[in-house]
């Protein structure tokens, strides 16, 4: 993917073209000594300055003009220098839950079915917005990047954290991690024809993995184990989870897609 018109100082600065240039510049931000650009399609002072710095630092141009033109050296250099390596990974801030990870509250309800529980564990996740990159003429999420997952756990005041209950809550938390690993891989290989399409692709992956698939796995586990009270089925699911965590390339658990 290239540009249709000039971008930068004195350029036409069409939004779609500016997004391409901003995307191509961002992987070089640290090297050229500028902050990553907001990919918004607006060719302001920061974008123009980044173009000049790229020409000066990377291209060794003595008098950079701050202009990227179709078919000229700057766009050719940006396209040739676009990095394609690296990946998005997932990590947990807490690996094994302990009672200290739970916030004590008067009542705990499972939001899935409204039942009163001794404890309930969900998870939160976050991935820094590092913008995008160009790969083979298409937009892709910037790499490397790391998605962090951490527990959001509550425990009823007066409840006893037995080993069985803790294992049950650990499973719910681990679902978030293994799904995040699969999401990270899919986000790494996602490609789109435009920046807007890439954002839509990311949002679609997020809904698929963290809402639909997490929900299906958690629901099936709770039904099979009666919220962790059926030791036979709980062991089956815990063994499945142990095997899933041990295999970084796993994309299923118990027949359910991650």
Per-residue pLDDT of the chain (258 residues; tens, 9 = 90+): 679 999 999 999 999 999 999 989 988 888 999 998 988 999 999 999 999 999 999 999 999 999 999 989 999 898 887 665 689 999 999 999 999 999 999 999 988 888 899 999 999 999 998 888 888 788 999 888 999 999 999 999 999 999 999 999 999 999 999 999 999 999 999 999 988 999 999 999 999 999 999 999 999 999 999 988 999 999 999 999 999 999 999 999 999 999
Q: How far apart are CA 21 and CA 157, in angstroms?
A: 55
Find the largest Cα–Cα distance for the chain: 73
The C-alpha angle with vertex 37 and arms to 34 and 43, in degrees rounded to 5, equals 110
The angle at the Cα of 142, spanning 137 to 143, to the nearest 5 degrees, equals 115
pTM of the model: 0.79
Q: How far apart, in Å, are the Cα atoms of 88 and each of 105, 128, 147, 190? A: 36, 11, 7, 11
Domain parsing of the chain, residue ranges: 7-81, 88-257
């Amino acid at each position: 993917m290239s540009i249709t018109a000039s971008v930068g100082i004195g350029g036409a600065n069409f939004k779609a073209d500016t997004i391409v240039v901003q995307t191509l510049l961002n992987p070089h931000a640290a090297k050229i000594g500028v902050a990553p650009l907001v990919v918004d399609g607006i060719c302001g002072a920061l974008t123009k300055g980044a173009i000049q710095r790229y020409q000066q630092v990377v291209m060794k141009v003595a008098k950079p003009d701050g202009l990227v033109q179709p078919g000229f050296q700057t766009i050719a250099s940006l396209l040739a220098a676009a990095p394609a390596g690296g990946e998005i990974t997932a990590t947990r801030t807490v690996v094994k839950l302990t009672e200290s990870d739970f916030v004590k509250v008067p009542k705990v309800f499972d939001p899935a079915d409204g039942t009163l529980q001794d404890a309930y564990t969900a998870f939160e996740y976050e991935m820094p917005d590092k913008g995008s990159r160009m790969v083979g003429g298409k937009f892709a999420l910037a790499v490397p990047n790391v998605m962090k997952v951490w527990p959001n756990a509550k425990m009823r005041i007066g409840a006893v954290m037995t080993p069985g209950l803790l294992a049950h809550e650990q499973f719910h938390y681990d679902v978030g991690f293994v799904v995040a690993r699969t999401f990270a891989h899919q986000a790494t290989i996602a490609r789109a024809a435009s920046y807007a399409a890439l954002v839509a692709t990311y949002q679609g992956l997020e809904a698929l993995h963290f809402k639909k698939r997490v929900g299906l796995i958690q629901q099936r586990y709770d039904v099979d184990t009666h919220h962790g009270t059926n030791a036979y089925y709980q062991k089956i699911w815990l063994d499945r989870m142990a095997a899933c965590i041990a295999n970084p390339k796993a994309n299923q658990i118990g027949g359910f897609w991650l």
